[in-house]
């Protein structure tokens, strides 16, 4: 078991050394989620499984509609709850004030079609619960996207014309998060400091996600798989699919972060989540400046100036109750790292 994990691990940042440092062979923990076992809230709940640091988790997620939309004519009235979550997973040794690292190892679309929809309450250019308008609402509409494993694409078929086009798959987890701090519990449609419905394509293979630990065991949840999504997710949905998930979880003891972060071999990425987008951006860059200052030793003002010249921004979504902006810098622009996470 250990050998296989290590081989897959190649290229995942630091995972080999960490597994070794922890002095145990990582296990593979398998868990199968169903509509009966999913949750709809990030918060305290009995764990469905326990993971030791370095363990690999193999599990599955239902799609954002609980796999309820299957054929033409199915409507959103069939949906029991939005964004059913697989979990929670208890991460052994994770205590409040620590950080967990999640290495995405494999994500595969677990169905033959995906779903897109105008979901009431979501959408950047239509009335929502939080930006209500008095114009007539958009009609409910559902698009089905056949998935083609052979060429790794999905097909968009227009409703109002015969046009169709293939879209390359880039599977990622729209939802991944832990129990919030301060005793809060949050709906599975919300992204916030604890992660959650970030709808960030960064939550995919090749990247590591860092999340703050707020309760013993962290209590990791995931769901809302996306086969592909445009920046902003502007109509409110991606190509919604169930996923097969393989990821590794690590614990970084005694290092506290306030907001989610991503990293891969080339970039460090800080996530800002709130409304309006202006404040999401401010949070993301304030976090990235702090990260550069603490781990790479640049002064905060030098980091601010440097980012003004070389940062990149990913505007992940502007349709959930909070909006997500990710600020990034290529490591080639940074001094040697002083602190590893």
Site for a copy of itself in 222-251 (CB under 8 A): 228-239
Angstrom CA distances, 134 to 121, 245, 256, stand at 13, 41, 44
For the chain, what's the residue count? Answer: 341
Residue 113: count of CB within 10 angstroms of its CB: 19
Footprint on residues 249-268 left by a copy of itself (CB under 8 A): none
Look at the alpha carbons of 241, 242, 248, 252 in this order and tell me if their dihedral is positive or negative.
Answer: positive
Nearest distance, CB of residue 192 and a copy of itself, angstroms: 10
Q: Is 120 in the site for a copy of itself (CB under 8 A)?
A: no
Q: Which of 127, 146, 152, 294 binds a copy of itself (CB under 8 A)?
A: 127
**Which residue, 1 or 158, is less far from a copy of itself as judged by CB?**
158
Nearest distance, CB of residue 252 and a copy of itself, angstroms: 22
Residues 6+ apart with CB under 8 A from 179: 42, 43, 44, 88, 185, 194, 214, 215, 218, 219
Footprint on residues 36-95 left by a copy of itself (CB under 8 A): 40-41, 43
Nearest distance, CB of residue 218 and a copy of itself, angstroms: 18
Q: Is 291 in the site for a copy of itself (CB under 8 A)?
A: no
Nearest distance, CB of residue 77 and a copy of itself, angstroms: 18
Find the helix packing angle between 300-310 and 277-291, rounded to 10°. 120
CA distance 74 to 56: 36
| Structure token pair of residue 330 | 């290529």
**Which residue, 184 or 266, is less far from a copy of itself as judged by CB?**
184
**Which residue, 30 or 300, is less far from a copy of itself as judged by CB?**
300
**Which residue, 102 or 198, is less far from a copy of itself as judged by CB?**
198
CB 235 within 8 A of CB 118: yes
CB burial string 174-190: b at 16+ within 10 A, e below: bbbbbbbeeeeebbbbb
At residue 39's C-alpha, the angle toward residues 65 and 325, to 5°, is 70
Nearest distance, CB of residue 61 and a copy of itself, angstroms: 19
Angstrom CA distances, 161 to 71, 131, 301, stand at 19, 30, 53
Residue 264: count of CB within 10 angstroms of its CB: 20
Q: Is 278 in the site for a copy of itself (CB under 8 A)?
A: yes
CB 47 within 8 A of CB 89: yes
CB burial string 53-70: b at 16+ within 10 A, e below: bbbbbebbbbbbbbbbbe
Q: Which of 75, 335, 337, 339 binds a copy of itself (CB under 8 A)?
A: 335
Nearest distance, CB of residue 25 and a copy of itself, angstroms: 38
CB 219 within 8 A of CB 95: no
Nearest distance, CB of residue 291 and a copy of itself, angstroms: 13
Q: Which of 86, 281, 291, 341 binds a copy of itself (CB under 8 A)?
A: 281
Nearest distance, CB of residue 207 and a copy of itself, angstroms: 18
**Which residue, 56 or 197, is less far from a copy of itself as judged by CB?**
197
Site mask, a copy of itself, residues 176-205, x = CB under 8 A?
A: ------xxxxxx------------------
Footprint on residues 304-333 left by a copy of itself (CB under 8 A): 304-313, 315, 318, 323, 325, 327, 332-333
CA distance 188 to 209: 18
Nearest distance, CB of residue 78 and a copy of itself, angstroms: 19
Q: Which of 2, 301, 339, 340 binds a copy of itself (CB under 8 A)?
A: 301
CA distance 3 to 6: 5
**Which residue, 73 or 276, is less far from a copy of itself as judged by CB?**
276
Q: Which of 7, 151, 161, 338 binds a copy of itself (CB under 8 A)?
A: 161
């Amino acid at each position: 078991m250990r050998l296989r994990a290590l081989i897959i691990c190649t290229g995942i940042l630091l995972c080999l050394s960490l597994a070794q440092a922890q002095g145990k062979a990582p296990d593979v923990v398998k868990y199968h989620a169903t509509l009966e076992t999913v949750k709809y809230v990030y918060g305290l709940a009995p764990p469905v499984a326990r993971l030791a640091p370095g363990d690999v988790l193999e599990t599955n997620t239902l799609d954002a509609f609980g796999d309820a939309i299957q054929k033409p004519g199915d409507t959103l009235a069939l949906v029991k709850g939005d964004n059913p979550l697989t979990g929670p997973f208890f991460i052994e040794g994770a205590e409040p004030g620590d950080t967990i690292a999640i290495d995405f190892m494999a994500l595969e679309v677990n169905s033959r079609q995906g779903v897109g929809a105008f979901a009431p309450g979501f959408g950047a250019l239509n009335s929502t619960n939080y930006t209500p308008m008095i114009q007539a609402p958009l009609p409910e509409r559902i698009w089905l996207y056949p998935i083609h494993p052979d060429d790794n694409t999905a097909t968009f078929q227009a409703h109002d014309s015969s046009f169709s086009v293939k879209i390359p798959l880039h599977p990622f987890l729209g939802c991944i998060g832990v129990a919030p701090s301060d005793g809060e519990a949050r709906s599975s449609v919300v992204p916030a400091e604890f992660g959650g419905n970030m709808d960030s394509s960064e939550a995919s293979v090749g990247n590591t996600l860092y999340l703050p630990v707020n309760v013993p065991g962290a209590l990791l949840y995931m769901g809302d798989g996306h086969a592909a999504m445009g920046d902003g997710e502007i109509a409110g949905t991606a190509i919604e699919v169930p996923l097969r998930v393989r990821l590794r979880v690590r614990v970084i003891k005694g290092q506290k972060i306030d907001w989610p972060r991503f990293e891969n071999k080339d970039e460090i990425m800080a996530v800002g989540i709130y409304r309006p987008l202006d404040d999401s951006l401010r949070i993301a860059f304030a976090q990235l400046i702090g990260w550069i200052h603490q781990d790479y030793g640049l002064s905060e003002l030098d980091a601010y100036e440097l980012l003004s010249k070389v940062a990149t921004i990913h505007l992940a979504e502007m349709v959930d109750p909070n909006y997500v902006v990710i600020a990034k810098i290529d490591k080639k622009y940074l001094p040697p790292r002083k602190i590893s996470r």
